[in-house]
Chain A
């Protein structure tokens, strides 16, 4: 392998690694706050990318009806809960937030010149129709069992993943899609050409990570999430709603997922089921961080990206095997250094 190829592979690895890092951060966040191992994270990647592709081609966002339907379902569940608590005053707000807004968005999008409007606006529209699926899924699937064991939450998580993949096939079809890059072309750097999209991905990933850090350090919601991650009961006693924290971090996870999809769709063809493997590689990164440390998770993800890229050169058939068996030594190390097994007998 000459240095040009090595650099090309490195560029590839770092690009993918940056995406995995974003996903790993979202996974760590969701796990720390809600104890949900969020397998469907990757579906948001695919939904984001494929919605963007549809809009870019001038079609209506395919997940429009899903968002409206889930909104109605959430409204029903919330309304029943409000009536049980005798809080009728909450009803109008429940309907406005969950039904009126999605319907309004669905109506308005019909009047937008989807194909001809600017790229940035297309991104915004795609996000508007994918990101709300995050809190909606939390409300419907996870909130009713928020106190259950990690394992039960994990099985729910896998069930949601199945549903989202199945629906993804219906919405987006079996054909893959690519979208045009944010900026065409690239520039020469030594022996290789760096694509502008790579710069966008690494730059935006860096910015998003920094923004998340600022959010957690300085905003009241960020602090609330951190408090919930450390001690759920304690946080609740301080007036932080666990439900709100859950919805908030699912919103962030959906946002990070969907945006990652839009970032990566110009350089890889995305299919309705691509998200799963992409998300799992984020997981491998997160596991390297022991599911708790953000910087380690990010570093692990870049490692996953590089390993994937170089093994696709040397042994492309075994690329996935190599990437996924990477967690074996990591788990082995953690297994040998962990003394206490966290069992859930007091739950």
Chain B
């Protein structure tokens, strides 16, 4: 029995059952499943928005309303064909979601949901009060959809229309998530890291918001032609919140969680609406109390929703363990060895009254390893953040490849050929090591999310993953390509960060404590790798506490103390410098 419990069999069985339902089921069941399909399409958008992008919207029902009202109004008042109104509805949705996104997506996370609540309420009242839209009584007489000359007039015929649309949306969503664009979307929550890899996080938030809005709009269009009648009620805030519950209960990070959540909520609602008043002996909205309670319990006990729990029953198919070889990605020309790559001139960084870096100066050349050392709290990581644009300098000048960069954001700096690792590891724990490393190669690919949704990106995708695998192998992680990043020990996670940085084909590599947490042999391997990169002409700026590691590897060393320049020179000189010894070991006089 267990042999048949594989995802493929389960999916096939599900699809066959789905196709067969209208042949034997009663009209009530067909109607319910139609509504499940419509809701799942909206919830799928929320999976993208909430589960993947970490953004929340309570206003999806309003987008459903846009789709429904656009077609209701245009077909009945202007005699447009339903296919034309679908396009019109999507165009309106695009404009509205762009406008709303522009306003709310730049703000911190909780303003978007608040904005969507306000917008959900406003649109509901607008639908109800504009006379041309029929007011609270709505619009009826919406014509059926015609497909190849067949009128899809009844529930059974429409059943296939709804589910074909939903399955197409699921497949394209899955395709999109399994691509360069999808990886960027899945890392949106770690914004600092993502921007430092050259990814425009605002653009991806916007894209996710727009896709979610489009799914909702299409669901609304389907709804209008299924019902042949619209009024404002299904597009108010309440249903908008229900859609979010569906996504959260089902499993906000998985596409099938949307279907599960939509099925559970839609079906339970139907049953509970009947059952609860009988049980309690009074009329009321008891089903919302149960939903509220269920949501709270799920969020307390299983924040990832029910789908991941269900999946533990079905043994997962091993992921594709092989990579197809691909042509290497084009590389950038590295500057001539020994030429200045990075110049830091009189850089000061203040946090309020605290001076974390005071008039720091340093120069890093192509093909050398420059180490930055100093006691804890000396301001090394702060200086790293100034250089990489993560936390811009207060004063001073920074030149990279001959260009002033002290005013640029980390994304623009990444484009110029700088890449970095972070002291506190910033990997997506749920993605594989390979996918994490491939984030670094983001700027070396160009296919957009529409191309990836339709699988037009496969050649580029193979090359990106091949590059990521190659860099991971160089870093000694070849055997972990398909493990999730969170399953590696911390030391190895740091090495994944280095591989990710290397995937960007950098001119200058900024490594923040790369050797911390590594064992002796792993350190030696890392030193060999850095030495090799130096030989290729890459410039490396390194913060490190392990003195043996630094002194054996670095060409030049700069010592910082209390945010200031203490000493600079060859490793040999630094090791015998009395000021440095005092900073590290304390003065003899004390």
Complex Cα gap A277–B121 (Å)? 9
Give the number of residues in A that approach B within 8 Å (Cβ atoms): 49
Please choose the segment from B103-111, B458-466, B479-487 that sits at the chain A interface, where 4 or more of its residues have CB less than 8 A away: B103-111
Identify which of residues 81-133 in chain B touch chain A, using a CB-to-CB cut-off of 8 Å. 102-104, 106-111, 113-115, 117-119, 121-122, 125-126, 129
> Is there an interface contact between B244 and A167, defined as CB atoms closer than 8 Å?
no
B229 contacts the other chain (CB 8 A):
no
Q: Which residues of A contact B300 (CB under 8 A)?
A: 144-145
With A151-B50, A320-B121 in contact, do A341 and B107 touch (Cβ < 8 Å)?
yes
A327 and B107 alpha carbons, distance in the complex (Å)? 13
Q: Closest chain B residue to A317 by CB distance? A: B129
Per-residue contact bits, chain A 128-159, to B (CB 8 Å; 1 contact, 0 not): 00000000000001001100111110111011
Cβ 8 A contact of B295, one of A150, A155, A341: A155
Q: Does A325 contact B (CB under 8 A)?
A: yes
Residues of chain A within 8 A (CB-CB) of B104 are 331, 335
- Say which one of A12-20, A103-111, A183-191, A279-287 lies at the interface with B: A279-287
B122 and A150 contacting across the interface, CB-CB below 8 Å: no
Set A158, A336, A344, A346: member contacting B58, Cβ < 8 A: A158
CA distance A280 to B244 in the complex (A): 19
Contacts of B245 in A (CB 8 A): 155, 159
Q: Are B109 and A342 in contact (CB under 8 A)?
A: yes
In whole Å, how far is B6's beta carbon from the nearest beta carbon of chain A?
Answer: 33
Contact B117 A280 (CB under 8 A): yes
B54 touches A151 (CB 8 A): yes
Q: Min CB distance, B290 to chain A, in Å? A: 8
Residue of A165, A341, A342 contacting most chain B CB atoms (<10 Å): A341
Q: Which of chain A's residues have a CB closer than 8 A to the CB of B107? A: 331, 334-335, 338, 341
Q: Considering the chains assembled together, what is the distance between the CA atoms of A156 and B292 in angstroms?
A: 8
Does any Cβ of A come within 8 Å of B228's Cβ?
no
CB-contact partner of B125 in A321, A335, A342, under 8 A:
A321
Give every chain A residue within 8 A of B295 (Cβ-Cβ). Answer: 155-156, 159
Task: State in angstroms the CA–CA spacing of A188 and B289 once bound together.
Answer: 47
Name the contact of B292 in the complex, choosing from A162, A170, A324, A346 (C-beta under 8 A). Answer: A162
Q: Which residue of B lies closest to A332 (CB)?
A: B103
Whether a CB of chain B sits under 8 angstroms from the CB of A166 is: yes
B160 within 8 A of A: no
In the complex, which of the residues A37, A318, A327 contacts B115, with contact meaning CB atoms closer than 8 Å? A327
Q: Please judge, given known A-B contacts A155-B244, A156-B299, A332-B103, whether A170 and B189 are in contact too, CB under 8 Å.
A: no
Instruction: Give the distance to chain A from B440, nearest Cβ to Cβ, in Å.
Output: 17
The CA-CA distance from A165 to B237 in the complex, in Å, is 14
A284 touches B289 (CB 8 A): no
Q: How far is the CB of B44 from chain A (nearest CB, A)?
A: 18
Whether A343 and B296, one on each chain, are in contact in the complex, defined by CB atoms closer than 8 angstroms, is: no
In the assembly, what is the distance between CA of A148 and CA of B302, in Å?
12
Contact A169 B109 (CB under 8 A): no
A163 at the interface (CB under 8 A from B): yes
Distance from A208 Cβ to chain B, minimum over Cβ atoms (Å): 24
Q: List 16 A-B contacts (CB under 8 A).
A: A150-B109, A151-B54, A151-B56, A151-B113, A156-B296, A156-B299, A159-B295, A163-B293, A165-B285, A166-B284, A170-B282, A320-B122, A321-B122, A332-B103, A335-B102, A341-B191
- B residues in contact (CB < 8 Å) with A: 50, 54-56, 58, 102-104, 106-111, 113-115, 117-119, 121-122, 125-126, 129, 189-193, 241, 244-245, 248, 280, 282, 284-289, 291-293, 295-296, 299-300, 303, 424, 426
A150-B110, A151-B55, A166-B288 given; 18 more Cβ-contact pairs under 8 Å: A145-B299, A148-B303, A151-B109, A154-B110, A158-B244, A159-B295, A163-B289, A283-B114, A291-B110, A317-B129, A324-B118, A324-B119, A341-B108, A343-B108, A343-B192, A344-B54, A345-B189, A345-B191
Which residues of A does B touch, CB under 8 Å?
37, 141, 144-145, 148-152, 154-156, 158-163, 165-167, 169-170, 277, 280, 283-284, 287, 291, 317-318, 320-321, 324-325, 327-328, 331-332, 334-336, 338, 341-346
